[in-house]
Structure 1
Amino acid sequence: MNGSSTEPTGQALALALAPPSWEDLVTSALLGTDRRPPAAAVPGREAPVALLDAAAVVTLRRRAGLRPAAAARRPVPAPEDTRPALPAAAARRLALLLADRSGGGGGGRRGSSPDLMELLPQWLAAANAHGYAAPPQALPALLDAARGRTDLRPAALEFAGPRALWLARLNSDWRFALRSAPGGGAALPDSEDGEAVQRLWQEGLFAERVALLSALRAHTPAPARELLTATWATERAEDRLMFLDALRTGLSAEDEPFLEQALGDRSRNVRATAAELLSALPGSALAARMAVRATACVAVDRTGDSPTIVVEAPPECDRGMERDGVVARPPAGRGERSWWLGQLVEAAPLGTWPGRLGGRTPEQIVALPVADGWQGELHAAWCRAAVRQRDAAWSRALLGVPSAPEAGGPGAVSLAERAKLLAALQDGERAEWVAGFIATHGLSEAFQLLGVCGIPWAAPLGRAVVDALDIARDAGSYPWSFSGVMGLAERCLDPAEAARLDGLLAIPDEREDASPGAGGYWAEAFQRLVSTLRLRAAMATELSETSPSGAGTQPPEAAD
């Protein structure tokens, strides 16, 4: 035996009978034994060694002193998931996607291999569209992936099904699943069970009540509104705002009386939300009042050489305007009258303007000159109205033609506004407009616009993106500037485009003015794009295969 294992019996006994506290030992370790020697130091022993010996004794004492606890209740069995099982090949693919947790992401070069983690959202969307159940053995990895990426959560939890909530109650790392579920994971009563609905509405937690109102609103809007009306006067202001927001689902003219009542609410935010909802109903009384106010400010002057829109902004913001949602105080840097005008025009039904402005179409109206520098303010308000009312004709007119200088429609003053206007168009028309924008202006400003296009991209849009990337490569452009668009193309291009890209895989001859190594990067990026498209095609095929009963429930390794 060496010397360090031999202790004086008296000292060891004293240490065992009266050990220092664990907190004292931790403090000595943090501060250092030179500054704070351990209280249980044995004469002749070095302080660090004495500290470790004391820690060992206290650890053993703490473990030995634990008393057996009563056995916990066994958890209830996991609920059944009656959806069909995944095809075996798709289950193996899911395991591979979940195993690639690191993704390819980050800056710099990503190599030529597909980024599997970035394909997971698309795979989940397709699996949910088929109505498949998640393999039980994949649920922990699926929940871990959703925990780290909030964008995955809705699709991941839908795919995981009821067992996700069961697991989340057993593992605190997955509690987000309970927070994301309606009512915090609580079961909602059947809408036909009036007594249970009333009990939950009267006695439930706030999250449960919001979930109940949203669920009822999605299927039976009128009973949901009646439920809210019954307790409206006693709700807190912040709760009234959340409840009112739930009325966006299924909004109709039948909601108008209740929303008109909410215009008199003591909370400014509640009043503003009620006014916004009413202005989205073109036939509402509020919309009619706003139309009267707005048209009193805008007219056509025919006395000059050509018709011109003239604007006379409101001179004041009266009580009626404030009650109807007009915010009286403008933000810093805005004039009061232009601020009020913009709110009036934004809330007025767009169908009002052709009759007011000489029977002109939206295209003819936005083409008219506007006197005294009011064009920007007026057209921007029409843009907001078109977005709020989802009016395709006005959105089309305000966007203008994509080949216009800077693609600036009469009122589209920013890419963000153009993206919002595009959302009111059908997928095909939206894709065609963005394709025309790219053909004229390239990809440098197209990223936001591409984000609102349907997936997979329509063929004209896909061709426009690929052609623009090819042109950028041939021009010797800085390749990393297009990494965002290339990433979008990997997720959104139609997989059928892969064959057309084979000619872009070779490393091109580099121009003298090109960025160093650009040719290799472009070839690498196109290789990754082609590989990703082919992988997406394979994934779609795997999910479409019919599998024998239970084929999707076996562990991936067992299927190899």
Structure 2
Amino acid sequence: MNTADPSSPAPLWEELVGAALLGTDRRTPAGTAPGRTAPAALLDAAAAETVRRRAGLRPGPAAPLPEPAAEDPRPALPAAAARRLHLLLAGRPGAGGGGRRGTAPDLMELLPQWLTAVNARGFAAPAESLPALLEAARGRTDLRLAALEFAGPRALWLARLNPDWRFALRATPGGGGTLPGPADTRRVEALWREGLFAERVALLASIRFRDADAARELLAATWPTERAEDRLMFLDSLRTGLNARDEPFLEQALADRSRNVRATAAELLSALPDSALAARMAVRAGACVAVDHTGDTPTLLVEAPHECDAGMERDGVSAKAPPGRGERSWWFGQLVEAAPLAIWPARLGGRGPERIVALPVADDWLGELHAAWCRAAVRQRDADWSRALLGPPSAPGAGGPGAVSLAERAKLLGTLPVAERAEWVAGFIAAHGLSEAFQLLGVCAVPWATPLGRSVVDALNIARDAGSYPWSFSGVMGLAERCLDPAEANRLDALLAVPDEPEDASPGAGGYWAEAFQRLGRTLRLRAVMTEELGPREPAAGEPEEGPP
């Protein structure tokens, strides 16, 4: 109840605030009687003053409206696919009690593939989905490139109005503006000299993709004035379209002040088999390896360099070995890695890659030599040497290829044609199971080719029947949900029942396996439906037919 005298003037806001801070026992506002009713009177007076202050504000000038968002000329997403997008963005990973994932597909894990498929068709994102799409990209960096491509210019317009979405502006050089082409020399020069670092990197990469020589000349014009860390990033862009005309510029970069820049320039030059650096490395590496015919079996002898001279350092050889590595083996590995692989048949008795790799190597140099050849095969994209170093998938530990680790095999597989890569991994799984194959599956094209997909399912079924611990295969099962061809869903029907558990099986393993196969089947069928909702896509000339996401 308000006990203030209605004829008294209204107290000032500052007076009310002071009374509230000090307490009505110590201070009562004007017109308010002290005592037990003073706190309620203070609140009543504050409420009335709040209304008065708000009503008494004079309207200020309206803020200017933002410029309208740019038009998105791409076709609208089909209605069914738009509803699917809403479900994917609202989805949460399926999980049951006790950490079990249950049998429902994990919608958030399907979103990256869905975005890839929708971008391939060139659809525009529905306007109402843009906030949720930006929120998903804010929380998951792996979604950002695909999500921003799909969201288009309107997402950048929103990002300028919401600080939480500023990552979209940083991820899109120029804030969404179209990068100039090589022919627009005035805009190119202005952006190259005045743009932010991310804008300059994007500009150089864009021009390099369309005109390799123009990009190199643009970089050369300001090279002496660039910071070392910027020079390194700019130099890395020359990997795209690397050609013999880049050699003079890269040779100059070998004298750069930055060791990292020199090392990158040397790596690029060694990828040009006819470059002067490659020839110098061929001489150095060739002097370190020879065939010994004095024994019963020809054997490779290795004589590692005894010093790292100034010429070697200029050509990118790092003189200081990492902890735990001997200096001579460290220098030797770098020389072999940078030497053209084409020198070895002539140097080693006319043998081809397979026969060279099969030769024994004296004095425990096999691991170092084969590891360097692996790095050279990956750098030079030499499929013949990659096949030799991989060896047959059924016996990857026999002979020379035994020195090749799983990580090295994964890189070597990346140099092979897609179909051959899948066939090799399928053979590896058939011979050795899934426990060693996870890294190798990651380099196979999606969706997996039929032989590879079936080898994965067969290996999972064998592991289930053996009563294996199911959680150790959760990573492979997750890959299968995203990478198996949906056409394989029908083959899973026979695996959906809870199997009889062997006596030595993990407790409850059969139930976990049944749930995992049910989720896999449902996910594959959902992926097939998602593809149908997007409609057909005409492949570009020379592009293979698209598989389901």
- Per the TM superposition, whether the score is higher than 0.5 is yes
Aligned equivalent of 1:512: 503
**How big is each residue's C-alpha offset from its partner over 1:445-484, in whole Å with a ceiling of 9 and x where there is no partner?**
2111111111011111111110111111111111111111
| Shift, 1:320, TM fit | 0.5
Aligned partner of 2:94 in structure 1 is: 104
CA RMSD, Structure 1 to Structure 2 (Å): 2.9
Which residue, out of 518, 525, 532, partners 1:527? 518
Aligned to 2:355: 364
Q: Give 1:485 shift.
A: 0.7
Q: Secondary structure at 1:445's aligned position in 2?
A: coil
Aligned partner of 2:331 in structure 1 is: 340
Aligned partner (choices 323, 330, 340) of residue 349 of structure 1: 340
Q: Secondary structure at the match of 1:310?
A: strand
Distance 1:541 1:50 in 2: 68
Q: How does 1:120-139 map to 2 (within 5 A)?
A: 120-139=111-130
Per mean C-alpha deviation after superposition, the further-off stretch among 104-113 and 304-313 is: 104-113
**Taking every aligned residue pair, what percent have the same amino acid on both sides?**
76
1:252 matched to 2:235? The reply is no
Q: 1:345·1:382 contact (CA, 8 Å) conserved in 2? A: yes
1:182 deviates by 2.7
Structure 2 counterpart of 1:31: none
SS of the residue corresponding to residue 317 of structure 2 reads coil
State how far apart, in whole Å, the 1-side matches of 2:465 and 2:39 are: 68
How many angstroms does 1:96 deviate by? 1.3
Mapped pair 1:491 → 2:482: yes
Q: Which residue number corresponds to residue 119 of structure 1?
A: 110
Deviation string 1:410-453 (CA, Å, 9 cap, x unpaired) is 26542211111111111111111111111111111211111111
Q: CA separation in 2, counterparts of 1:416 and 1:103?
A: 30
Aligned to 1:220: 211
Question: Quick check: 2:414–2:421 contact (8 Å CA) kept in 1?
Answer: yes
Task: State the distance in 2 between where 1:408 and 1:40 align.
Answer: 89
Distance (Å, rounded) in 2 between the aligned partners of 1:421 and 1:48:
79
**Cα offset, 1:391, TM superposition:** 1.2
Give the residue type in structure 1 aligned to 2:294. T
Displacement of 1:39: 3.6
Aligned to 1:34: none
Q: Provide the aligned length of Structure 1 versus Structure 2.
A: 528
SS at match of 2:401: coil
Aligned equivalent of 2:426: 435
Select between 459-468 and 12-21 the one with higher mean Cα deviation: 12-21
What is the SS of the residue equivalent to 1:410? helix
Instruction: Flag the 1:13–1:232 CA change in 2: closer, same or farther, 3 A.
Output: same
Q: Is the 8 A contact 2:358 2:399 kept in 1?
A: no
- SS of match in other structure, 2:278: helix
Match of 1:544 among 535, 543, 547: 535
CA pair 205-514 structure 1, distance change in 2 beyond 3 A? same
> Any runs of at least 4 consecutive aligned residues in structure 1 with deviations exceeding 3 A, and if so which?
5-9, 11-21, 38-70, 183-187, 405-409
Q: Any unmatched runs of 5+ in structure 1?
A: 26-37, 547-560
Aligned equivalents of 2:300, 2:49: Cα separation in 1: 87
Tell me the residue number matched to 1:42: 25
- Bigger drift between 509-518 and 343-352 goes to 509-518
Determine the C-alpha separation between the residues in 2 that align with 1:405 and 1:442: 13
Give the TM-score normalised by structure 1.
0.87
Q: CA deviation at 1:206?
A: 2.0
Structure 1 residue 289 displacement after superposition: 0.6
Change (3 A) 1:292 1:99: same
In the alignment, structure 1 residue 167 sits paired with structure 2 residue 150: no
**1:391-470 residue pairs with structure 2 within 5 A?**
391-404=382-395, 410=401, 412-470=403-461
Q: Deviations over 1:265-320 (max 9, x none)?
A: 11111111111111111111111111110001111111111110000000100000
Cα distance in 2 for partners of 1:47, 1:290 equals: 92
Aligned-partner Cα distance in 2 for 1:418–1:58: 76
TM (normalized to structure 2)? 0.89
- One-letter amino acid matched to 1:243: F
> Which AA in structure 2 matches 1:464?
S
Correspondence for 1:241 among 232, 239, 264:
232
When residues 216 and 405 of structure 1 are mapped into structure 2, their CA distance, relative to the original with a 3 A threshold, is: closer
1:137–1:13 distance in 2 versus 1, CA, 3 Å: closer
Report if aligned partners of 2:255, 2:314 keep a CA contact under 8 Å in 1: yes
**Cα shift readout 1:231-285 (whole Å, capped 9, x = no counterpart):** 1111111211111111111111111100000000111111111111111111111
What amino acid does structure 2 have at the position aligned with 1:77?
P
1:519 CA drift (Å): 1.2
Shift of 1:189: 2.5
- Is 1:84 paired with 2:75? yes
Report 1:5-404 matches (<5 A): 16-18=13-15, 38-40=21-23, 42-43=25-26, 69-100=60-91, 102-104=92-94, 108-404=99-395
Structure 2 Cα separation of the partners of residues 57 and 289 of structure 1: 89
Aligned-partner residue type, residue 116 of structure 1? L
Structure 2: distance between partners of 1:385 and 1:13: 86
Are the counterparts in 1 of residues 433 and 459 from structure 2 also a CA contact under 8 Å? yes
Structure with more relative contact order (C-alpha pairs < 8 Å, separation 6 or more): 1
Distance across 1 between alignment mates of 2:361 and 2:208:
43
Q: Distance in 1 between matches of 2:10 and 2:322?
A: 76
2-structure distance, mates of 1:458, 1:484: 19
- Relative distance call for 1:68 and 1:287 in structure 2 (3 A) is farther
- 1:104: Cα distance to partner? 2.6
3-state SS of 2:447 partner = coil
Aligned to 2:32: none
C-alpha change, 1:416 and 1:373, in structure 2 (3 Å) is: same
Closer/same/farther in 2, CA of residues 60 and 315 from structure 1, 3 Å limit: farther
After superposing the two structures, state which structure 1 stretch, 457-466 or 91-100, moved more.
91-100
Instruction: Tell me the distance in 2 between the aligned counterparts of 1:46 and 1:294.
Output: 97
* In 2, Cα distance between equivalents of 1:15 and 1:221: 72
Q: 1:19 to 1:518 in 2, by over 3 A?
A: same
Three-state SS of the structure 1 residue aligned to 2:77 is coil
